[in-house]
Amino acid sequence: MLILPDHNRPYYIGHVNQPIVPQYFWNLSGSMLDFTLNPLVYLEEYQGPTILIEINGFRFSVPSGWHILIVDTETKLIDTIPVSQCSTSPYLAMIVSSISSKYMELPIKVVDFKPDELVVYPMISKGCMMFCPVGEEDSDPENIVSVLIGPYDLYDKYLENVSAKELFY
């Protein structure tokens, strides 16, 4: 799985026993309602059903029980939904950058379901979602944009009635 470390270049983690260079990676902290750098303490492994999704032309596998941060186009309120729910209705992922204070809305396309796949990712603290890079911003190739995914549903406890702009101001 790709993570966005503190040096703002995507970093691929494929195995739990590979050497890890980054010491920190970007997260959304639900309790602080802010983007933070979390220490990369150790890697976790998930073996089971995954969903291959495509955002911004970039495809990646996500454990089927994980959640993704979406935004409503009319109200601009954010929500977290299970990735598996993306196949039933069209949703727009909230795409953020760690270096600019703006966001984008891009469609989530479910490409495939894999019944048994291995996904390696850093330990994600409870109440957080990690940045998963999905490309560069068209106007600034140095600006890496990411979708927010994670194993926890942050909506009921932290994100209810929070607008997308509230995360940046």
What integer pLDDT is reported at residue 97 of this predicted model? 85
What integer pLDDT is reported at residue 91 of this predicted model? 95
Instruction: State the Cα–Cα distance between residues 142 and 120, nearest whole angstrom.
Output: 26
Ranking 18-22, 45-49, 91-95 by mean pLDDT, the lowest is: 18-22
Q: Give percent above pLDDT 90 in the chain.
A: 82
Instruction: State the Cα–Cα distance between residues 94 and 24, nearest whole angstrom.
Output: 22
For residue range 108-135, what is the model confidence (pLDDT) as tens digits? 999 999 999 999 999 999 999 999 999 9
Residue 98 has pLDDT above 80, yes or no: no
Mean pLDDT of the chain: 93
pLDDT band at 102 (very low <50, low <70, confident <90, very high): confident
Domains (ranges, CATH) in the chain?
Answer: 2-167 (2.170.16)
- pTM equals 0.93
Write out the two tokens for 88.
């039933």
pLDDT band at 70 (very low <50, low <70, confident <90, very high): very high
